[in-house]
A and B are shown apart, each in its own frame.
Chain A
Amino acid sequence: MTDNKLIDLVNITKSYGDNIVLDELNLYIRENEFLTLLGPSGCGKTTTLRIIGGFENPDQGQVIFEGKDITKMAPNERQLNTVFQKYALFNHLSIAENIAFGLKIKKKSKVYIDDKIKYALKLVNLDGFENRMPDSLSGGQQQRIAIARAIVNEPKVLLLDEPLGALDLKLRQDMQYELIRLKNELGITFIYVTHDQEEALTMSDTIVVMNQGYIQQIGTPEDIYNEPQNAFVADFIGESNILPSIMIEDKLVNILGTNFACVDTGFGRNKPVDVVIRPEDIDLVKPDEGTIKGVVTSLLFKGVHYEMEVSAHGHDWLVHSTDLAAVGSEVGILVDPFDIQIMNKPESEDEEAVELEM
């Protein structure tokens, strides 16, 4: 990844009728970056991708590609290729003809095209599939062909619209590794759209969390997971306890009536905030050793860990632990200061956007 801005979205606004899908969105994508647009359905992530691909025109704003305004450019003139959600292979053409589609339009020589087909099929681990027809392939294979068809055109950017959405879990995980490998081998920029937070965390250099047409947070997977900026991000990425609290002073926060030490500063004094504590960051100890006491109300075995709910100070705390505490037993809750993440309460304009269904 370099620091060169490859694509710059400036003040993009898009609405369908009364429904505003994107509201003054600003985002830049760097050369050779794996950037993921992550959010629930209807958050505007696919619309953003379609605007970059040229399939939608923004009502306002500009798409800058390598310093040039391409907002009005037709999709067939853009130097980027898309992998669509349901593969969109051409069913009446063989795999080789599918892959050659873009190259034939560019009037490449037969030798060049044949070479490229071989290379692309090798890259997606489907050597020898040249003469097969698309509907004789499995979903995962079709998806790889869709990727091969896009990359033979040597695009500067590959746009991927939930490409793994229709695959089963095991295949999805395999394809995640494949995509990372492909990206490294090709050295091009990937813009990836998904609603699956695990996919986003695994593959991305940068994650853009979106909701209701607004960008909620941009950051590395670690940033997004460990330091969510608001309750929406915290809730959407992984599981979390989100607790309304008051910042007493620097490094001291009052959560549900009890003071906890933390490491955050600069929030002011006696200011209402939201606190995020990840379930795996809560230690269950003997009742007297914890900061607060609670009673275990439910217990589920999840394989890697137990998932427990602990009722304490009028809130059900979600706890992931490899140690078991029986239902009904009294426990103490202990949280390390650096595991307490303080977030500002959402502000006026975004208030609706980060509203949670809790």
Chain B
Amino acid sequence: MVKKFIERFYVGFILFFLYAPIIILIILSFNNSKSRSKWGGFTLHWYKELFKNESIMNALYTTLIIALASAFIATLIGTAAAIAINSMKKTPRTIMVAITNIPMLNADIVTGISLMLLFVAMRYTLGFTSVLISHITFNIPYVILSVMPKLKQLNPHTFEAALDLGASPVYAFFKVILPDIFPGVLTGFFLAFTMSLDDFVITHFTKGPEINTLSTKIYTEVRKGIKPEIYALSTLMFIAVLLLLIIVNRRNAERKEPIRKM
């Protein structure tokens, strides 16, 4: 009994420390007082302010567009790349996997500065497209990472079986290969989407003066002093990611059901 209690307590303790900062953030976003140490009653005032703040709304819009577009394009390129890498012979495959892994481990600041240098050297004006290109670049490895294991699990003969039954290679890919690796592709997409939402450093170096994503916007706001609107904004972002996660997990759980109800 005591052992069980300690186990439960320990888990609770860990969860508390993981989520305490976020809980405080959420509470403060409803606080009817500008002070961070005094509870002034419940209010939705900061949320109203947030939606009235045009520059933040613009940044939110840019962030979502970039996250969606970069995740989508990176998923296309990354999936195609993973399929190519998977069909390579052993040595080139190992080398390619290593090469595609490096950008993930690379410090963001190095990636950010080198991308910025590249754009400047090519006389490419920093702005929306340069940020988009940068996000696609750092997202591709995450897609490859999540698609590769699915490809490895694939029975090498399923593609051939589809051809054997008269399917053209393209039809066979969309009908047989893609559905099998789709969970991996979807994971890759969401991972890329989250990475893009989350990124500050690389965006900071490649964005130019014209545009802002949420993270760069918050950064500039914070320098002027933190306003409670930012708490409201962060709360909304947290809840959005939470919902996304629940949806993905639900989907995966349903996929495991062996018998289809027709």
Contact = CB atoms under 8 A, between A and B. Distances in A.
A105 B171 contact: yes
A128 B136 CA distance: 49
B91 to A, nearest CB: 13
Interface string A132-159: 1101100000000010011001000000
Interface stretch (B63-71, B222-230, B254-262): B254-262
A130 B179 CA distance: 20
Contact of A153 (B155, B165, B169): B165
A85 B259 CA distance: 24
A88 B155 contact: yes
Contacts of A74: 163
Given A88-B155, A131-B260, A133-B260, A81 B165 contact: yes
A91 interface: yes
A82 B159 CA distance: 12
Contacts of A125: none
Interface residues of A, number: 32
Given A82-B160, A88-B155, A105 B260 contact: no
Contacts of B162: 90, 101
B166 A153 contact: yes
Contacts, number: 76
Q: Tell me which of A84, A90, A132, A136 has the highest count of chain B C-beta atoms within 10 A of its own C-beta.
A: A90
Contact of B164 (A75, A133, A135, A136): A75
A102 B181 CA distance: 21
B246 to A, nearest CB: 23
B108 interface: no
Interface in A77-104: 77, 81-82, 84-92, 94, 101-102
User: Of residues A82, A106, A150, which shows the largest number of chain B Cβ atoms within 10 Å of its Cβ?
Assistant: A82
A53 interface: yes
B166 A90 contact: no
B260 A88 contact: no
A86 B157 contact: yes
Given A90-B176, A94-B262, A105 B161 contact: no
B253 to A, nearest CB: 16
A76 interface: yes
B164 A82 contact: yes
Nearest to A86: B155
